[in-house]
Structure 1
Amino acid sequence: MHIWNQQVISLLEPLANEENARHMKAYMRGQFEFFGIKSGPRREALKPLFSRSDLPCVEHVPEVVQELWALPQREYQLVAIDLLIKQKKRLPESYLTNLEQLITTHSWWDTVDMLATHIASALFIQYPVQTSEYIQRWRESENIWLRRTALLYQLKFKADTDEALLFSLIKENQHDNEFFIQKAIGWVLREYSKTAPTSVINFIEEQGILGLARREALKWLNKSDLSE
């Protein structure tokens, strides 16, 4: 095991909290084991390892992340994502293959959303042509987490959002009753409404976006109306 991961383990294991772990496991529908370490204490404990001098070099990041992803406690996957975010501007184009594997392994919103909005987005900014090829494949996948990633990777793009692509992705998924797809549609429309409110309102009405997606999409616009 990589020495950086050995240090992570030695710092996290003493912080285990059984009561917190039970609550966390229940909240995540019993899918993952937990140490019971909340994000604040986790990041504080690992702060020394995230200093520039102690970070694993970018060439070792795929190995380090893969090892953390294979460990049973969910906190390790969250540490892996923190590491990826720290190194996201240095990741090579080839990491797209690794990213796809992470999205589809131990998948749930807590990892997938961070991978979509931080790592997929960063890779797209650096390697737009290559990343677009993956997005095209993900949008056609039966895997809901790959499609959720395709919907969410532009979440923070604001005026740089490819509106035509975003609306096309939503049209493809709007009749999928899967909760996490509907939630993603609402979330990305809500964020984009802060940049292009008229476009979003027109799209929602013309496309007939309903239910959960519509409620989520209009939250910011409704709040803005009330405050005026």
Structure 2
Amino acid sequence: MSLQKTLKSMADKEIAKHSQRFFKTGKGEYGEGDIFLGIRVPDLRKLAKEYQSLPLAEVERVVASKYHEQRLVGLLILVYQFEKSKTEKERKKIYTTYLKLFPYINNWDLVDTSCHKIIGLFLQDQDRRPLYLWAQSKNLWVRRISIISTMWFIRHGDLEDSFKIAEILLGDPEDLIHKAVGWVLRECGKKDQKRLKQFLNQHSVYMPRVMLRYSIERLPETLRKQYLKRGR
């Protein structure tokens, strides 16, 4: 049975209804119009492992789907394939394919489960200028990709791009970017609290409230209170 048919056979209307509410698919919401089959994420991960040897062209077709879960499975397959790739040529092909699929990476879970494991890993030893271009995109999800991709660098103690891109996104109008930047700053702070405090000392007055709250979660309570008083 094809992956697409397998997914449709696993559909659950009640789970789909819950997902449509959770991922804000109503009119004017960030996930407006997204369609769900109703399949739990652990089951999708298992399925992605089963189909991880799917040809790249077929994975592209899987991701270019109207169904949210199908897009997620396809992206998870790309992650597995990237992790198992043995040559630079293979990695570049998967990376390039991922970039082509940007129009279908259109919700926060699709971004957060894949971009740092493909883009972050690929750009670790490459020119990182694309991240800065994406940070200025008109597309919310591309901007989220720009900051979340740096999670891979943070994991390896490289914080420079995370702070620079966070600075670019300080004035972003979208709540989902505020949360993403705050999350990334918090992770930076786990590696280098002094550097996080330097950033907050410079920018906390201008940071959106939710961004600031996320970023200071791991700081001592007295410091958290100080920054919240300074914040806007």
Shorter chain as normaliser: what TM range? 0.7 to 0.9
Question: Contact (CA 8 Å) 1:103, 1:111: kept in 2 or not?
Answer: no
SS of the aligned residue for 1:104 comes to helix
Question: Contact (CA 8 Å) 1:11, 1:46: kept in 2 or not?
Answer: no
Task: Specify every segment of 5 or more residues in structure 2 that has no aligned partner in the other structure, as ranges.
Answer: 26-32, 225-232
Q: Match of 2:67, as an amino acid? A: Q
* Equivalenced residues, count: 210
Residue 190 of structure 2: aligned partner: 194
Residue 15 of structure 1: aligned partner: 10
SS of the aligned residue for 2:151 comes to coil
In structure 2, relative to structure 1, the CA distance for the partners of 1:218 and 1:146 (3 Å cut) is same
| 1:212 maps onto 2:218 in alignment | no
Question: Contact (CA 8 Å) 2:95, 2:118: kept in 1 or not?
Answer: no
Task: List aligned pairs for 1:76-91, cutoff 5 A.
Answer: 76-89=70-83, 90=85, 91=90
SS of the aligned residue for 1:193 comes to helix
Task: Specify every segment of 5 or more residues in structure 1 that has no aligned partner in the other structure, as ranges.
Answer: 1-5
CA RMSD of aligned residues (A): 2.6
Residue 139 of structure 1: aligned partner: 135
CA deviations over 1:181-214 (Å, ceiling 9, x no partner):
2111101001111100111012112222341111
Q: Give 1:10 shift.
A: 3.2
> CA–CA distance in 1 between the matches of 2:48 and 2:203?
47
1:43 paired residue among 25, 42, 45: 45
Task: List aligned pairs for 1:20-169, cutoff 5 A.
Answer: 20-30=15-25, 31-44=33-46, 47-50=49-52, 55-56=53-54, 60-61=55-56, 63-89=57-83, 90=85, 91-125=90-124, 128-129=126-127, 132-158=128-154, 160-169=156-165
Q: Give 1:159 shift.
A: 6.3
2:175 paired residue among 173, 179, 191: 179
SS of the aligned residue for 2:91 comes to coil
CA deviations over 1:69-94 (Å, ceiling 9, x no partner):
22222111111111011111424324
* Percent pairwise identity: 23
In structure 2, relative to structure 1, the CA distance for the partners of 1:41 and 1:93 (3 Å cut) is closer
Q: Match of 1:195, as an amino acid? A: K
CA deviations over 1:205-224 (Å, ceiling 9, x no partner):
2222341111000112247x
> CA–CA distance in 2 between the matches of 1:192 and 1:64?
37
TM-score (norm: length of structure 2):
0.79
Question: Contact (CA 8 Å) 1:15, 1:37: kept in 2 or not?
Answer: yes
TM-score (norm: length of structure 1):
0.80
> CA–CA distance in 2 between the matches of 1:93 and 1:203?
34
Structure with greater helix share of residues:
1
In structure 2, relative to structure 1, the CA distance for the partners of 1:159 and 1:25 (3 Å cut) is closer
Q: Match of 2:65, as an amino acid? A: L
Q: Give 1:23 shift.
A: 1.2
Structure 1 segments (4+ residues) deviating >6 Å? none
